[in-house]
Amino acid sequence: MNITSNAAKPGLKQWLTSDTPQSRWQAKCGRAWLGWLKFTENRLAMIGLSIVLALILVTIFAPLLAPYDPLAADLTNRIQSPSAEHWFGTDQLGRDILSRLIYGAQYTLMIVALVVITAAPVGLLVGTAAGFFGGWIDATLMRITDIFLAFPKLILALAFVSALGPGIENAVLAIALTAWPPYARIARAETITVRKSDYIEAARLQGVSNMGLILGHITPMCISSLVVRVTLDMAGMILIAAGLGFLGLGAQPPMPEWGAMVSEGRQFLLEQWWVSTVPGLAIFIVSLGFNLLGDGLRDVLDPRGGD
C-alpha cells in the first residue's frame, strides 16, 4: 500500500509540467521550467550563459584566482612574453596581465550592473508614464527621449564624462544617461498595447490609482521585453566603458580596467602583442557572451521575436 501511495505522488517534473496547476506559484514555476527547457535547446545561448556565469565567478573569486597582486609593479620583469610563470605575460611595469585581467572583470561587471540598475528603472518609468497618460505628457517625454537618441551613445557618453570629469563613477553616470532612451521606447510601446485592456479597466473600477495601475499592472507586462533589451545592450555598455577607459576618461590608473589595459599596451602592439591583445580578447568574449545570452532570452521571453 505504501508503494502504491508513493508511486501516486507526482514528481517534481510532473508538478512543473502539469496542465492543471493548483496555484499561481505552480503556474509560474511551470512557465519558468518550460522557458528553461526552450533556452537549453539553443546551444549558442548556453555558450553565452556559460561565459556570463564564468565572468561572475571570476569576479567573486578574483582574490583566489589571481596569482599575483594586480597593482604590484616589478620593473625587472617588464614586457615578459607568456610563460608558465606568467600565463599572459607582463605589461610595461612588470605587472602580471592575467591577474589584472581577473581583477578587471570586477570593474567590468560593476559598471554594467550599476548602469543597468540606474538606466533601466528610469527608462521604464518614463516609458510607462508616457504611454499611460498620453497627450502632452507623452509628447514632452518622447521629445526628450528623441533628443538623447539623436546622438550616438559613445559620442554622448564622451560629452557627459568630459563635462563631469574622468573617473569610474562619472563613466557609469555618463553611460546610464545614454542608455535609458531605448528602454523608455520599449516600455511606452508595451504600455500603449495594454492600457485599454479589460483587466486595466477592471482595476480602475475598483479604485486603483493611476500610479497603482502603472506600478502594479502595467510595469510587470513590460519586464520581459525590457530584460531582453537590457541583456543585449550589456555588450554595448561594456564596449562604451572600455572606450572611455581607452581614452583615459573611465577608470584611472593603476586600476586594472580592460579598456585602459588595451590603451596602455597599444605602443607595444607590433612586438609585444599580448599586452593589448589579451584584454581586447576579454572584451570581445564577454561582449559576445552577453549578445548570445540576449538572443536566447529573446526567443524565450519575447514570442514575437522567436522563430
Mean pLDDT of 112-128: 91
Peptide linkage before 63 cis (omega within 30 of 0) = no
In this predicted structure, the answer to whether residue 220 has a pLDDT above a threshold of 90 is no
Q: Is the pLDDT of residue 108 over 50?
A: yes
Let me know if residue 27 belongs to a domain: no
**All three cell numbers of 74:** 616589478
| Domain annotation covers residue 271 | no
Say if 240 falls within a structural domain: yes
What does pLDDT average to over the chain? 85
Q: Which CATH number is 128's domain given? A: 1.10.3720.10
Quote the domain boundaries for residue 161. Answer: 109-254+285-307
In a domain, 158, yes or no: yes
How many Cβ atoms are within 10 Å of 49's Cβ, its own excluded?
18
Between 33 and 259, name the one with better pLDDT. Answer: 259
At residue 144 the predicted structure's pLDDT band, cuts being 50, 70 and 90, is very high
Residue 270: pLDDT band (50, 70, 90) is confident
Please identify which residue in the block is written with the cell numbers 524565450: 300
Number of domains in the chain: 1
Average pLDDT over residues 165-187: 89
In tens, the pLDDT along 14-52 reads 777 777 777 778 777 878 788 888 888 889 999 999 999
| 220 neighbors 28 (Cβ within 8 angstroms) | no
For residue 197, tell me if it sits in a domain.
yes
Burial bucket for residue 257 (CB in 10 Å: 0-12, 13-18, 19+)? buried
Q: In the prediction, which pLDDT does 264 show?
A: 86
Whether 15 contacts 22, CB under 8 Å: no
Backbone angles phi, psi at 14, to 5 degrees: -65, -35
Task: Give pLDDT tens digits for 33-43.
Answer: 888 888 888 89
Report CA 98 to chain centroid distance, whole Å. 24
Q: Is residue 150 part of a domain?
A: yes
Residues forming beta bridges with residue 90, ordered by sequence position: 96
In a domain? residue 236: yes
Which pLDDT band holds residue 165 (cuts at 50, 70, 90)?
confident
Q: pLDDT-based confidence at 281, cuts 50/70/90?
A: very high
pLDDT grade, residue 302 (50/70/90)? low
| Mean pLDDT, range 142-169, rounded to an integer | 87
**Percent of all residues in the chain with a pLDDT value above 70, rounded to a whole number:** 95
Stretch 210-234: mean pLDDT, rounded?
86
**304 found inside a domain:** yes
